[in-house]
Structure 1
């Protein structure tokens, strides 16, 4: 059997498999997943804990996609175009897609902490979030803060330990981080910023100042590492992810990579995104490239986070060292944006209850995609209608 083999049955791999069929591919499509569960959505794991299948089991059969759950790939041979599985089976491919995703990062000394990456991880963590439980969370990023919100809503006592001077220091503008900081503090979360961790176990965090804190459960949310082992062993170029070109083709012409595991060019800068939407967008894009229907990749990076009743959405990539502007909105919402030196809109973010800022951020996303040049003062003026501005582009 040959055709297209996809390693990784997450959002990106599944989207690519179905996109191949939707765009007319009639050859074999094999989708290999290490987990035994039917491929599922990962964003809810840290938000609601609910498990939702990406597609039904029948959908794979209907589209003649050979789903191989619980299969572990041991090696890829670029010369013979073979994928080897644990147990000795080998699969031939015409084109190979690596959608291997990422794994939870654990710094040395944190090996005993819980992490969140799979549905099994979520089940263990959520079972610990009970009234009165003392929960320690290392890391003030999205995963850590979403779990902190879940824990407080469950009645647990929560402490978040963050080495940086503020929450979400690498991801969102300070105006947005300040709102989330204040909300977590209001909800009773103990936030320890600029606090380094020496080591941690399942129930203890040792700090650089020599002190220790005891908990019922310790969770590490300190980022993710791209799964590049197969690519490196196979001889592909890897640098903070599997390096790909505009078609998401790797250094081997018949091997592609997409999703959390890949490093690609976004308007002149090499980036690696850990994002549900990027995984979807790239799965669609790489399927077209495999079929020889290359198109420019213009999808704007976009992600969201739900914490308590607040929803944060970000479009584009902020330069946190450059000026960030605010657009006047309602009292319960905040919208910020950034233009580069040529007044090209490059990023926007909004936060508020529910979907209060969704429409604005969606328009900003489209303006960014169209490489709109606009005066920052005009965007900041609430009397300027964003829909009309979009229509004018």
Structure 2
């Protein structure tokens, strides 16, 4: 038996092989990763790891010995260059070939880069995505240095928080009319704009990057769309990610905002599965792709059950988080299609939540240092409960009591 082969050693890949081994004690399992290290956590990369508060080994999802103990063949520092679906084998970058009975693509996502034509290839211009990126940018994080952050989504804002906390001068540019415009309501944008301003970050909304200017191959200035020139020491690019689908596309698999899978994680080839950032799946009559750690874990584990002969379908329960300074943002649900929001104040400054409704249907909650609101909102969303807008808006109403009464 050729066994299970999993391509992509991120959170989804690591979760999948662990689940496969828990369900199947004998079939060979191979996990192939392009990076030269075992699977690791990404969220702490640009925070605790960059700040020097977390050692490399603590980033690892499991000790390296785990894979040997579980008889999982961990192949690092190599990529898969081709999939032969007819012969059910893959070719690695070193020329080796590996057969499979069931194959899974957990290839994740790749950062969107600035074009070379506007200086994206200059030195000291960094994406914020993997271990190599963070290791490369770490020496630039010196007190007093001026960093330009391109992009006002969560990636950019988290990077701004780390830089400001390290005593750097931070300028963040966002081409849209407000930060978080694609993912959050104005109330949430207002909260984080004020938070970053209080920490000395200069946020320029409605302002694009025209080009980066360099000397001797290193970035020295940024020309912005309003014509101003800003002297900088380095730049961080957080303008989004895209699903890593090139291998799947070359193999002829169906692509639809990622590698299209059914509710059981199967691609258009029944012997190939996909999970995590790279996969789009059925959700509430449509199709979505979720970029989150919880989805990577849960979708990968659900697909693993099917790979060993199960029949369960993956039911997503979207939730996300972001850490900025001393604020923990927790998000439950998806706000797509909302037509009104309600801001619920907390018991002290800095604590609040934003609730998204479509008509009288509760869609999502953004909770800033408000774990109780997050927990209640998440349970309501997952249980199909829809509290009255007036109850949510009134801080005197006990939403936990509303939840229990529902």
- TM-score, normalised by the number of residues in structure 1: 0.93
Per the alignment, residue 325 of structure 2 pairs with 308
Q: 1:104 aligns with which of 107, 111, 123?
A: 111
Whether contact under 8 Å (2:171, 2:202) holds in the other structure is: yes
Whether contact under 8 Å (1:244, 1:263) holds in the other structure is: yes
Computed over aligned residues only, the root mean square deviation of the Cα atoms, in angstroms, reads 1.8
What does 1:56-67 align with in structure 2 at a 5 Å threshold?
A: 56-67=63-74
Whether contact under 8 Å (1:25, 1:291) holds in the other structure is: no
Per-residue CA shift, 1:325-351, capped at 9, x if unaligned?
A: 23342232111212333x332211111
User: Which of 226-235 and 279-288 deviates more?
Assistant: 279-288
- Is 1:72–2:82 an aligned residue pair? no
Whether contact under 8 Å (2:337, 2:358) holds in the other structure is: no
Q: d(CA) in 2 for partners of 1:383 and 1:289? A: 47
Q: d(CA) in 1 for partners of 2:26 and 2:362? A: 41
Q: d(CA) in 2 for partners of 1:250 and 1:153? A: 44
1:203 is paired with a residue of what secondary structure? Answer: strand
Whether contact under 8 Å (1:162, 1:193) holds in the other structure is: yes
Whether contact under 8 Å (2:210, 2:225) holds in the other structure is: yes
Q: d(CA) in 2 for partners of 1:3 and 1:198? A: 51
Per the alignment, residue 295 of structure 2 pairs with 278
Q: d(CA) in 2 for partners of 1:65 and 1:387? A: 45
Q: d(CA) in 1 for partners of 2:5 and 2:106? A: 10
Per the alignment, residue 352 of structure 2 pairs with 334
- Is 1:191–2:203 an aligned residue pair? yes
Q: d(CA) in 1 for partners of 2:198 and 2:151? A: 19
Q: d(CA) in 2 for partners of 1:111 and 1:241? A: 26
Distance 1:239 1:216, change over 3 A: same
Q: d(CA) in 1 for partners of 2:154 and 2:301? A: 26
Return the offset for 1:294.
Answer: 2.8
- Is 1:261–2:278 an aligned residue pair? yes
Q: 1:236 aligns with which of 253, 266, 290?
A: 253
Return the offset for 1:240.
Answer: 2.1
- Is 1:139–2:156 an aligned residue pair? no
Whether contact under 8 Å (2:140, 2:234) holds in the other structure is: yes
Q: d(CA) in 2 for partners of 1:390 and 1:17? A: 37
Whether contact under 8 Å (2:338, 2:358) holds in the other structure is: no
Per the alignment, residue 166 of structure 2 pairs with 154
Q: 2:138 aligns with which of 126, 134, 138?
A: 126
Distance 1:153 1:42, change over 3 A: same
Return the offset for 1:302.
Answer: 1.2
Q: d(CA) in 1 for partners of 2:16 and 2:70? A: 12
Distance 1:170 1:25, change over 3 A: farther
Return the offset for 1:153.
Answer: 1.1
Unpaired stretches in structure 1, ≥5 consecutive residues:
none
Return the offset for 1:289.
Answer: 2.0
- Is 1:317–2:334 an aligned residue pair? yes
Per-residue CA shift, 1:267-287, capped at 9, x if unaligned?
A: 233222221111111111111
Aligned residue pairs, count = 388
Whether contact under 8 Å (1:298, 1:369) holds in the other structure is: no
Return the offset for 1:24.
Answer: 3.5
Q: d(CA) in 1 for partners of 2:355 and 2:267? A: 33
Q: d(CA) in 2 for partners of 1:392 and 1:292? A: 40
1:114 is paired with a residue of what secondary structure? Answer: strand
Return the offset for 1:364.
Answer: 1.7
Whether contact under 8 Å (1:29, 1:64) holds in the other structure is: yes
- Is 1:37–2:37 an aligned residue pair? yes
- Is 1:90–2:97 an aligned residue pair? yes
